[in-house]
Amino acid sequence: MDDLDRRLINRLQLGLPLVPRPWEALAEELHSDAATLRARVQALLDDGTLTRFGPMFDIDRLGGAFTLAALSVPEERFDAVAAILDGLPEVAHNYRREHQWNMWFVLGCATPQGITATIARIEALTGLTVLNLPKEETYHVGLHFQV
């Protein structure tokens, strides 16, 4: 990673400029050119330095819903249950926790009713009870990791 990569990552954490030609504006800011910056982002994605590059939507304002959920999965079934969740388009990601509720995941659905239906489907597919932890309030925190 060179200086331009670092400056690009640091700047992109603040968002793209909201102008008709954002890459050109960004290139001017970073003393580069738009094609180079787009190629750098792709290279950082390809080599795993960045795992995601894209917009963040306020799903609630779009009529959808997210929820944090958890399962208490017997160890011998952990991989099989993880594979079930991985196969569901509503599951954004899942991860292991060292706790009684050892599999945590995020559900994203087009409607709040979709959350309820997806939880019921997960319970039917796994035979396990889902702990649903919907958000009660939204907080916006400006998180920036200086590279």
Listed by start position, the domains of the chain span 3-46, 65-133
DSSP 77: G
Element (H, E) at 124: helix 112-126
Give the pLDDT of residue 139.
Answer: 76
- As a whole number of Å, the CA-based R_g of the chain is 19
pLDDT at position 140 over 80: no
Region at 109 (left for phi over 0; alpha for psi -120 to 50; beta for the rest): beta
Rounded to an integer, the average pLDDT of 78-103 is 94
Is pLDDT above 80 for 57?
A: no
So what's the pLDDT on residue 51?
82
Name which residue leads in pLDDT, 124 or 142. Answer: 124
Residues 6+ apart with CB under 8 A from 57: none
**CA dist list (Å): 90 to 37, 56, 67, 116:** 32, 16, 10, 12
**What is the CATH architecture of 65-133?**
2-Layer Sandwich (3.30)
